[in-house]
Structure 1
Amino acid sequence: LNMSADTKSLSQAIVVEIEDLVVGIVVDEILNIIYLNVADLATIPAALNSANREYLQATAFYEEKIIAVLNLQKILTKGGLVVEEEV
């Protein structure tokens, strides 16, 4: 998994279940947990030109900001997504 042997500092994970696959995703920090209705989801703006666009499922507004809704099934089955930026 390309992780260092020192995992003592890794204290938070998000556990997701997609079809028959249960996966824990290690995260640096969990800022908030929100619940979105399907009606609140919007399509991905056409102006968004990113190599990782295929990993996005939708967008939504939250606290006057646009957030990206990830397509976890594609991320977990295809791989190749690397995020090294702070948002």
Structure 2
Amino acid sequence: MKRQLFLLLGSTLSLFGCADPNAPIKMRSGKLTQTQVDQIITRCGGPSGMGVIESGSLTIKPVSDLTVTGCVLKAIYDTGETTLTTVGNERYVTPEVR
């Protein structure tokens, strides 16, 4: 019984619990232009082609340097033009005990 439970749990986590961190991030581009996106990427030190607008959709391809990807996502979020909902570390932080 325990073995079946572990197999079921492991299968479920492998399907749903582990998203690909290198997968492209897609959102609606709003009023952002390709030129504006390219300027943001250049300012953050990202490579050319990291962000592409096609048919009203903006796709950001994460790079291995998380600082660059984070900078690009934050700058795009700060424009208020896209459907990117939040940028930041969503990890739970326990409150300090006094």
TM-score under structure 2 length normalisation: 0.27
Higher RCO, 1 vs 2 (CA within 8 Å, ≥6 residues apart) = 2
**In terms of Rg, which structure is larger?**
2
Normalising by structure 1, report the TM-score: 0.29
Higher strand share: 1
